Structures are given as structure tokens and as C-alpha cells.
């Protein structure tokens, strides 16, 4: 007989005469859980992780909780979200590759369905079964048909963008064959958006409404707040666009130095930390012409405004929970889903001039005078130079397996956190850990089977001992994390990282880095540490076998080697020719030509 956990004490009272009456049994109120997921927000974009961007509400959660500096997601949107909700490796949960980039040799293969498959259970499914309300607002990106949408995967209430990106103002999508974004509300597909829709604000309004309408029964709630911000295109209200005019005229080189300096002051980075090499195809900012600086700086101004607007609406949610008396009993988990976006997604999606999608993009996304940026129909992202600022001090950015593609800032606060308020932890953490952690704190369990399917094992480790202050990491030095996406691959064990990336971002061969001494991945030790390379390659081969990894026959980055300039080391001030100023002789030696 299946017995609901919530009625178990009453059942035992009836069966066992010596049991205490229900009125004498202590009642422990289970915590609410709020996951705040920012889309493409970089490691250093929050104030408490080194940013000059004003994020007082996220900073307040950091001050009340713990900051984690060694936390890993996946390198792109949907694989990260699938890992988060299932606790299972992407090659088992259906997102072995993004649906948009599935390679020809992966089509139709198990683990490469391009959506969250039915062979896994989700956090909301398991928490709902144990008496939690389950709410979602924001970006889904894990399937669109009725059996794949949030309502079918455990969410009791939802207001969700099913696509991976799109307008913040309306339903405009990115390609000619998919011109309109799809939204659902409480399991139904929307024909139009609410009046005065703006993504970040509307998501917050809807979640507050869900919480208020469900609170009368006293159940705890799980809320997955999957914000679209600050993913491009950078759409934001007019009063948020001009809060940083001229602030970024000093450029990305200067801003990276300033963020690293602040990270050292905060204790986020050690005093020995250095900046990763600036991407070789990104120019030294001081060499840009004034007009170029003005336009490029404007992009970062908008990004900063978008992050601040996101923080404002996070603050609205926190204040509402305080107002209704739920804040103190709410766990907050805050992070970005992958590295900051340095790729030109607009160009990748639009393709070549004269093609169908290029013409669609020109028609729908052409409101692109800098004065119109932020408006409906505008498309702007900030590019690789600013993405490296967002990922200070690390190398690379979203889509790649350098630290800048997969390492994220993490905040955990609320009743589960028993560590010193405002503290910092450097333990090795993974996005896959969230499932086992939340099952433990909620009193739920991970079943062997679910909906007629035998479930794959969870790959994460619970954080409860770390959050209780009883351990510094959920992992031993023998445990490892592994990634594969778009043909790029990486493995971390202890302080060592093995990395293989497509040229020219990598060497199309294994590289080895010691993250304890070199988190910026400046020094490839593969040639001097061949034994360590062999050890880690053996673990990688085991990962491939265990998770049935199919390396793709095609990659979205396959043409970069021919498009980008040759790769040479980047040294500030080299060549000196470009930074030498006009020599001015002494005045007493100046003269005019003789007749």
C-alpha cells in the first residue's frame, strides 16, 4: 500500500497504540525552494563576484548565504537545463547535443532526442509527489509538444517561453520556418501575450500570482525561475538603457583588470590569480577609433542595464516573500546557465545574404540604429570582448569548454545554509548536484523507476554536508566531472583539467591544465605531464563508454579555423609600433628650413 508521507504520522497513530497524539508531534515545516537561473549571465557579472554592475538584490542573497567559486554547469542552454532538472548526464537525458545543432550521425540516437526525454524524472515531478506546489516561469527550451512542455514534466503552474531565445517584447522568433515563439500558461499554448508584456517583469508577476494563489493550503512550493535575461537580443525598457552612458569607454582590457582587482578584494580570486589571455581576434581596446569605441561601449551599457533590470525583478520577488512571511523559510539558488555569450548568434542564425533566414532576419530584426537598441525589432549582443569581461578571470565563453564556458557564480542562501553568512566556498560543485540536494532537503527520494521507466543513476552529489559546514566539497579527489558538446570535450579531477577543443580555440588535441595554480588556463602542461594526461584520458574513455557519447560529425564551429585570423599569443603593448606616440624633439632644437 502506498502511503503519503504527509499522513504517515496519523497512520502510525492508528496502528500503534503507544504513539503520541498528533497534537503532540512536532511539525517541521519543509522549506520553499526558489531556483533563479539567469540566461548567459557571466561569472563576474554580480557585484559580490567582482562586477561594477549594480546588483543589490543578488548581492543581498550572497551576503545572507554562501558564494561558491568552483561551480560548473554545461557550456550551453538546454544541456545545462536538462542536467539541472534531471540530475542526469545530457547524453542520457536527451540533450547530448542541442536540438538546434544535432549532427547527422547523432539523429535518432538514444540520448540525442533534442528534448528532455521520458527516461528521466524531474525535480518538480518528484517534489510534487511529496506535497510541494511546483511553479515555473521563463525559458524552457526542453521540448514543445504536449508531452514535453513544463505541465507534462511536473509543473503545476507555468508561464513559459518554449523556445531558446526571442524577443522580450513579443512573439517574434529567429528563423523563417519558426517565425513565432511558443508560450504556454498552465499547460495551454498561448495565442497572444498578456497586455504590456515584458519578459522579465511578466515572469515575476506571474510567479508572485502563482505563489499567492497556492499559499492557502500551507504546502511548501518549488519555483523554477528561468529568466530570459540577460540573453541577447538586449531588449530593455527605456528607463533602463541609459544608466551607464560613457561608463565603458575605457574598454574591455581595463574592465577585466578592474574586475579581477575587486575579485581579489572580495576573496573570490586568490592574490596570485592572473587574467586569461584576451582572445587573439579581439583587438586591444585602446587601438579602436573613437566612433568604434562609442558603438561597442554602448553594447556593454545595455548589457549592464539588462542585468540590473533582472536584479530589480529578483528583488521584487524577494520582497514579496518577505511581505507574506515566506522569505525566512525559502532556499534560494542563484546562478547562470553557462558562460557569457561571446558568439554572434544573430549572424549564425541569419546565415548568408540571399538566403531565406537572412531575409527573415533583415525584415524582423532590422531596427538596428544604436539609438533604437533595446526596442522591439532590434538585435544587439555585446560580442567576445565584453563576454570575456563577464567571465573574468577565465578563458573563452559560452559554447566552449574553457573555464569561461562552464564555470559559473553560485549563491545558495536560506534555511539549508548553516555556513557563515556571506562566506565563500571553493569546493568542486556541479549543476547535476541540485537534484540530489533538493531531494534530500525536501524529504523526497529518487526512485528506481518512474512512469514505467527504469531511471538512470544520478550523477550529482548532495550539497547538504557542505551547506551544513561539515565538508568543504561534495567530491573526493578521485571523483571527476566530464563534458562533451559540439565535439569539444573536457574532464576535471581534483586540480587537473583535461581539455580537447576544435582549432583554433584549442589544438584539436588534448591539453592539460592545473586549475589550482592556473585557473586562467594559460599553461598547457600536456607535454611535460604525459602520465597525468594518460590517466585522465582513461577516465574520459570510460565516460564515453558509460554514457554512450557519440562525437558529432558536424559542429556549429567547424568553419572558424578558416574564418578567424591566425592565432598568435596576445601580449598587451605588442607590437610596440601600434602604441608608440609621435616623438617631439626639444623646442630649442626646432627650426624651419633654410632658404
What are the catalytic residues?
77, 141
Q: What single string gives the DSSP state of each residue in 35-67?
A: EEEESS--TT-SGGGT-SS--HHHHHHHHHSEE
Q: What single string gives the DSSP state of each residue in 271-314?
A: TT--PPPPPTTSPPGGGS-HHHHHHHHHHHHHHHHHHHHHHHHH
Give the list of residues 6+ apart from residue 499 with CB closer than 8 angstroms, or none: 401, 402, 489, 490, 506, 510, 511, 512, 513, 521
Q: Cα 8 from chain centroid? A: 39
The interaxial angle of helices 290-323 and 383-390, nearest 10 deg, is 40
- The CA distance from 563 to 576, in Å, is 26
Q: Cα 22 from chain centroid? A: 45
- The CA distance from 485 to 98, in Å, is 8
**CA distances (Å), origin 216, targets 220, 324, 407, 516:** 11, 11, 40, 50
Q: What does the angle CA 567 – CA 572 – CA 578 come to, to the nearest 5 degrees?
A: 90
HSE-up of residue 174 (Cα within 13 Å, Cβ side): 16
Give the list of residues 6+ apart from residue 401 with CB closer than 8 angstroms, or none: 75, 483, 485, 488, 489, 490, 499, 501
Beta bridge partners of 172: 180
**The three three-digit cell numbers of residue 418, written as one number:** 548553516
- The CA distance from 299 to 303, in Å, is 6
Helices and strands, counts by H and E, the chain:
16, 17
**The three three-digit cell numbers of residue 414, written as one number:** 536560506
Sort 29 into a burial class: Cβ within 10 Å, 0-12 / 13-18 / 19+: exposed
Q: What single string gives the DSSP state of each residue in 168-223?
A: SSSSB-SSSSS-B--EEETTEE-SSPPTT--HHHHHHHHHHHHHHHHGGG---EEE
Strands 183-185 and 157-161: antiparallel
- The CA distance from 560 to 543, in Å, is 28
Beta bridge partners of 332: 34, 413
Amino acid at each position: 500500500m502506498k502511503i503519503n508521507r504527509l499522513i504517515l504520522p496519523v497512520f502510525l497513530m492508528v496502528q500503534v497504540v503507544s504513539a503520541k497524539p498528533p497534537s503532540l508531534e512536532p511539525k517541521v515545516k519543509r522549506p520553499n525552494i526558489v531556483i533563479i537561473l539567469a540566461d548567459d549571465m557571466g561569472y563576474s557579472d554580480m557585484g559580490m563576484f567582482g562586477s561594477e554592475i549594480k546588483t543589490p538584490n543578488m548581492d543581498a542573497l550572497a551576503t545572507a548565504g554562501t558564494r561558491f567559486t568552483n561551480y560548473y554547469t554545461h557550456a550551453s542552454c538546454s544541456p545545462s537545463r536538462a542536467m539541472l532538472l534531471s540530475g542526469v548526464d545530457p547524453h542520457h537525458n536527451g540533450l547530448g547535443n542541442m536540438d538546434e545543432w544535432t549532427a547527422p550521425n547523432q539523429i535518432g540516437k538514444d540520448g540525442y532526442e533534442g528534448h528532455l526525454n521520458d527516461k528521466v524524472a524531474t525535480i518538480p515531478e518528484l517534489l510534487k509527489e511529496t506535497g510541494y506546489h511546483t511553479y515555473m516561469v521563463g525559458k524552457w527550451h526542453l521540448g514543445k509538444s504536449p508531452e514535453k512542455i513544463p505541465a507534462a514534466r511536473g509543473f503545476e503552474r507555468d508561464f513559459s517561453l518554449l523556445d531558446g531565445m526571442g524577443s522580450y517584447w513579443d512573439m517574434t522568433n529567429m528563423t523563417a520556418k519558426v517565425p513565432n515563439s511558443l508560450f504556454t500558461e498552465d499547460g495551454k499554448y498561448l495565442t497572444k501575450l498578456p497586455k504590456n508584456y515584458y519578459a522579465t517583469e511578466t515572469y515575476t508577476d506571474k510567479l508572485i500570482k502563482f505563489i499567492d494563489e497556492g499559499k492557502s493550503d500551507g504546502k511548501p512550493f518549488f519555483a523554477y525561475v528561468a529568466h530570459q535575461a540577460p540573453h541577447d537580443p538586449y531588449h530593455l525598457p527605456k528607463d533602463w538603457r541609459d544608466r551607464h552612458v560613457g561608463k565603458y569607454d575605457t574598454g574591455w582590457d581595463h574592465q577585466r583588470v578592474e574586475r579581477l582587482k575587486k575579485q581579489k578584494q572580495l576573496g573570490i580570486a586568490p592574490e596570485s590569480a592572473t587574467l586569461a589571455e584576451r582572445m587573439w581576434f579581439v583587438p586591444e581596446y585602446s587601438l579602436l577609433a573613437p566612433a568604434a569605441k562609442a558603438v561597442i561601449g554602448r553594447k556593454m551599457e545595455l548589457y549592464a542595464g539588462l542585468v540590473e533590470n533582472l536584479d530589480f525583478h529578483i528583488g521584487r520577488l524577494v520582497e514579496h516573500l518577505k511581505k507574506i512571511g515566506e522569505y525566512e523559510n525559502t532556499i534560494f539558488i542563484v546562478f547562470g546557465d553557462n558562460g557569457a555569450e561571446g558568439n554572434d548568434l544573430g549572424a549564425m542564425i541569419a546565415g548568408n545574404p540571399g538566403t531565406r533566414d537572412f531575409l527573415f532576419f533583415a525584415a524582423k530584426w532590422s531596427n538596428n540604429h544604436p539609438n533604437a537598441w533595446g526596442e522591439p525589432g532590434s538585435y544587439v549582443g555585446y560580442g567576445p570582448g565584453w563576454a570575456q569581461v563577464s567571465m573574468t578571470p577565465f578563458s573563452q565563453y559560452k559554447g566552449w569548454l574553457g573555464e569561461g564556458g562552464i564555470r559559473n557564480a553560485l549563491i545558495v542562501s536560506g534555511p539549508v545554509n548553516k555556513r557563515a553568512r556571506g562566506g565563500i566556498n571553493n569546493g568542486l560543485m556541479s549543476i547535476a548536484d541540485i537534484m540530489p540536494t533538493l531531494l534530500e532537503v525536501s524529504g523526497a527520494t529518487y526512485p528506481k523507476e518512474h512512469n514505467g521507466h527504469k531511471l538512470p543513476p544520478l550523477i550529482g552529489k548532495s550539497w547538504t554536508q557542505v551547506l551544513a559546514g561539515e565538508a568543504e566539497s561534495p567530491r573526493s579527489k578521485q571523483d571527476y566531472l566530464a563534458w562533451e558538446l559540439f565535439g569539444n570535450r573536457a574532464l576535471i579531477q581534483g586540480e587537473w583539467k583535461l581539455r580537447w577543443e576544435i582549432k583554433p580555440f584549442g589544438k584539436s588535441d588534448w591539453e592539460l591544465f592545473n586549475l589550482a595554480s592556473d585557473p586562467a588556463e594559460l599553461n598547457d602542461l600536456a607535454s611535460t605531464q604525459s602520465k597525468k594526461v594518460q590517466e585522465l584520458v582513461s577516465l574520459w574513455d570510460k565516460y564515453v563508454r558509460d554514457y554512450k557519447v557519440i562525437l558529432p560529425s558536424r559542429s556549429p564551429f567547424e568553419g572558424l579555423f578558416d574564418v578567424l585570423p591566425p592565432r598568435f599569443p596576445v601580449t598587451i603593448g605588442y607590437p610596440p609600433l601600434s602604441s608608440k606616440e609621435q616623438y617631439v624633439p626639444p623646442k630649442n632644437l626646432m627650426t624651419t628650413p633654410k632658404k
